[in-house]
């Protein structure tokens, strides 16, 4: 689907999402991460009234400075790597940036694919060109083509501010908000039915504690499915790179349109992405 066609169809949802920024969109969960609880001085109850408050309560791996420092640092390092004249040295420096993003994002397992990529600079540059296009039909992302997973979505988004990270938590949050929108907004039946597949943001199932296997979708605390509204998992039954890339693109389009609607220069796509990341920690009751 083309960008403008998609955005026109989901316009009511963009309005709803924009209103959730500083309006009324309460969300509560119990924190399970002991280091996060320590950071909050023992308070395990996380509650916000809207997405803006969710952004203001951003936290990841003992770091509350992602928006203000990490992105700028990674992007500057990438630009420096591309500017190195010697191609061998430039490639080595570029891979280090990618590895650092993986490490920060807690996705070191993605490093193996990057190590096998002969020209990571060209690979990422070409992938970004596709992701920034006007269509969400991007079969170039595949096991043997351009890679898309929880690690590479961070790389692509951090290196270009027009894209947002689309990981399991962001997908879960968008699915939850989409479900609430569909449940609570009075829409003509035809419009409602048309919107349902356009807002089926896939989430990612978390791994079972202490091992590498994934839990079942019904056990996932990031599965926003309820009643007639069901959402797919990105990582089951098998990895689908094109599907992941498609929803990263769609989510980025929506956030871009949301920013235009909010019309506030102090709000960035990173702020919104951070808010979604926080909400998506747990979306089940």
In this prediction, residue 63 has a pLDDT band, given cuts at 50, 70 and 90, of low
Helix, strand or coil for residue 137?
coil
Q: Let me know if residue 57 belongs to a domain.
A: yes
In a domain, 285, yes or no: no
- Split at pLDDT 50, 70, 90, the class of 60 is confident
Is there a contact between 25 and 179 (Cβ–Cβ < 8 Å)?
no
CA atoms within 13 A on the CB side of 58: 19
| 258 pLDDT tier (thresholds 50, 70, 90) | very high
Residue 187 lies in a domain: yes
Is 125 among the domain residues? yes
What pLDDT digit, counting tens, does each position of 94-134 carry? Answer: 999 999 999 988 898 889 888 888 899 999 999 999 999 99
Domain count, the chain: 1
Whole-angstrom Cα distance, residue 93 to residue 20?
Answer: 40
Exposure string of 72-102, with b = 16+ CB inside 10 Å and e = fewer, is: eebeebbeebeeeeeeeebbebbbebbbebb
Bridge partners of residue 2, in order along the sequence:
135
User: Quick one: tokens of 97?
Assistant: 């940036």
Asked if the structure places residue 69 within a domain, the reply is yes
Q: At what angle do helices 189-198 and 168-184 cross, to 10 degrees?
A: 180
pLDDT digits (tens, 9 = 90+) for 162-187: 999 999 999 999 999 999 999 999 99
Residue 22 lies in a domain: yes
Distance CA 166, CA 204 (A): 10
pLDDT confidence of residue 207: 76
pTM: 0.94
Assess if residue 284 is contained within a domain: no
For 13, the domain range is: 3-279
Q: Average pLDDT, whole number, for the chain?
A: 93
Asked whether residue 285 carries a pLDDT value surpassing 90, the answer given is no
Note whether residue 134 is domain-resident.
yes
What percent of the chain shows pLDDT beyond 90?
79
CA angle, residues 59, 62, 63, in degrees to nearest 5: 60
């Amino acid at each position: 689907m083309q960008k403008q066609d998609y955005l026109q169809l989901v316009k009511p949802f963009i309005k709803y999402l924009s209103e959730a920024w500083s309006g009324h969109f309460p969300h509560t969960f119990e924190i399970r991460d002991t280091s996060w609880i320590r950071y909050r001085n023992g308070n395990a109850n996380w509650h916000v009234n809207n997405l803006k408050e969710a952004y203001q309560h951003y936290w990841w791996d003992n770091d509350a400075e992602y928006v203000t420092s990490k992105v700028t640092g990674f992007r500057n390092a990438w630009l420096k790597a591309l500017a190195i004249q010697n191609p061998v040295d430039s490639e080595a420096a570029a891979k280090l940036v990618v590895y650092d993003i993986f490490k920060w994002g807690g996705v070191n397992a993605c490093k193996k694919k990057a190590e096998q990529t002969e020209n990571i600079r060209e690979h990422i540059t070409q992938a970004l060109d596709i992701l920034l296009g006007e269509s969400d039909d991007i079969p170039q992302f595949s096991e043997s083509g351009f890679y898309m997973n929880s690690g590479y979505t961070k790389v692509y988004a951090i290196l270009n501010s027009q894209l947002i990270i689309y990981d399991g938590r962001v997908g879960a949050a968008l699915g939850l908000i989409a479900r609430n929108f569909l449940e609570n907004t009075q829409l003509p039946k035809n419009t409602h039915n048309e919107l349902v597949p356009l807002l089926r943001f896939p989430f990612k199932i978390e791994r079972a504690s202490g091992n590498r296997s994934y839990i079942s979708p019904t056990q996932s605390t990031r599965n926003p499915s309820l009643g007639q509204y069901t959402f797919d998992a990105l990582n089951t039954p098998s990895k689908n790179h094109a599907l992941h890339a498609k929803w990263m693109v769609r989510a980025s389009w929506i956030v871009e349109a949301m920013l235009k609607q909010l019309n506030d220069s102090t709000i960035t796509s990173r702020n919104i992405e951070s808010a979604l990341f926080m909400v998506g920690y747990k979306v089940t009751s």
